[in-house]
Structure 1
């Protein structure tokens, strides 16, 4: 039994755990929230999740956990986005489930998610459905090896907005920090201190993060070699790019054919 529940809303789904897999995903880009807890697995492509003051990159083979009633929206310029959502009505009493988490899906979790596709968009549940998805849900805290660098901090101090905008445009260049200080109308020392205080990372780390996130988008296009991408995002050599990518993504860059 299947049913188009979009007109009624996620919270109208009658079963405790609802599986939804879809290729060539096109999600509405407006902000929304629901009472359901949401697990999203990106099988192909990538998505950005805008939640509160932060933007989270969820690349291929990664999952994001979103707590109940957490307002969010998604964006992506990926060629194709294939993903799975599992929407849970109830969760165990554990602090893990009340925070946003982004982490790579280990092999066993990917196999479990692949198996769960047998219940895609079904509104009837049996004992296997209930037991299997409950086991997956309880296992998530143990699978989570969080990558904090996939979170792009957005500072609340308005003086830093032009600084972040400048870096997002000029990330491929080696710019002088005095330019950023002038944009923020601060001394270099004050800028460095306040930026770290607002975002939790240094300006240099923020620039590295933006470069690597841009490289993820370029890799997804399958139009360039890794050497070309390295130069396009501001690295002088493939080895320097690979080392930086590995630090952020915890894996080597790879063009998927």
Structure 2
């Protein structure tokens, strides 16, 4: 609690990162993940990453697990997953844990093992809350412009003209450099930014829709639901802090 940022680093063990009360950005060279409240992110061992909470009010809980070569594929892929009631209860059970949990810790070690074993069974499908990071210098400038003011609904033709490149070239750049279409990137950027505004709690859903470039509230709500899995109003209600307080 109260962390401003955690600079780029990696671990020999895998990391289970849970958050409440806000949004956590997890970044590496290729992707930027948006970890929302009541979700966890699995970070495999050896993966470089930096962590940036959206505010000092964010609560994070970190657990670290060794991963063996013959473990399931789940443990070797980064991903974001919702936390169900059973997993939340296990988290609450581990709230007082601190430091290493060793095999001789008869009361704790079986719970830690069960926690790890249950994760791939509980978490079947990751929530795709990640954006690729531009490496091409031209795309870096384009994505910076898109992020600068999402209330303006810019077309790919307008962007291409502004940067003196053809629409076809811009399409190719997105697919080649980030393996994503312009439309998909722009849509995800808008919705992920909307999540940030919802968490702030300063604006109505209608205001947020306009702030991220949607003139139609139903269109915004439907797109948000398709990507996040909850309607904007439902997401706002689920963004609460339980008794978890450990970092």
* TM-score, normalization by structure 2: 0.85
Match of 1:12 in 2: none
Kindly provide the CA deviation profile for residues 69-96 of structure 1, in whole angstroms up to 9, marking residues without a partner as x: 2111111333611121001234562222
**More displaced stretch, 50-59 vs 109-118:** 109-118
Match of 1:179 in 2: 158
Which residue among 77, 80, 83 is the counterpart of 1:102? 80
**More displaced stretch, 154-163 vs 65-74:** 154-163
Q: What displacement does 1:246 show? A: 0.6
Which residue among 131, 145, 149 is the counterpart of 1:152? 131
**More displaced stretch, 55-64 vs 132-141:** 132-141
Match of 1:85 in 2: 62
**More displaced stretch, 77-86 vs 207-216:** 77-86
Kindly provide the CA deviation profile for residues 177-196 of structure 1, in whole angstroms up to 9, marking residues without a partner as x: 22322455431112113312
Larger RCO (alpha carbons 8 Å, 6+ apart): 2
State the secondary structure of the residue aligned to 2:165.
coil
Q: Give yes or no for contact 2:39–2:81 (8 Å, CA) kept in 1.
A: yes
Write the distance in 2 (CA, Å) between the matches of 1:60 and 1:68: 23
State whether structure 2 residue 10 is matched by structure 1 residue 30.
no
Residue 82 to residue 181, structure 1, CA distance change in 2 (3 Å): same
State the secondary structure of the residue aligned to 1:139.
helix
State whether structure 2 residue 139 is matched by structure 1 residue 164.
no
State whether structure 2 residue 99 is matched by structure 1 residue 117.
no
Q: What displacement does 1:36 show? A: 2.0
Extract unaligned runs of 5+ from structure 2: 241-247
Q: What displacement does 1:124 show? A: 5.7
Match of 1:3 in 2: none
Which residue among 209, 216, 221 is the counterpart of 2:200? 221
Write the distance in 2 (CA, Å) between the matches of 1:251 and 1:72: 27
Write the distance in 1 (CA, Å) between the matches of 2:80 and 2:130: 8
Kindly provide the CA deviation profile for residues 112-150 of structure 1, in whole angstroms up to 9, marking residues without a partner as x: 21222132x1546522311111111012122222122x1
Write the distance in 2 (CA, Å) between the matches of 1:87 and 1:52: 22
- For this pair of structures, how many residues does the alignment match? 232
Q: Give yes or no for contact 2:26–2:32 (8 Å, CA) kept in 1.
A: yes
Residue 93 to residue 175, structure 1, CA distance change in 2 (3 Å): same
* TM-score, normalization by structure 1: 0.82
Write the distance in 2 (CA, Å) between the matches of 1:170 and 1:245: 19
Extract unaligned runs of 5+ from structure 1: 1-23
Residue 54 to residue 153, structure 1, CA distance change in 2 (3 Å): same
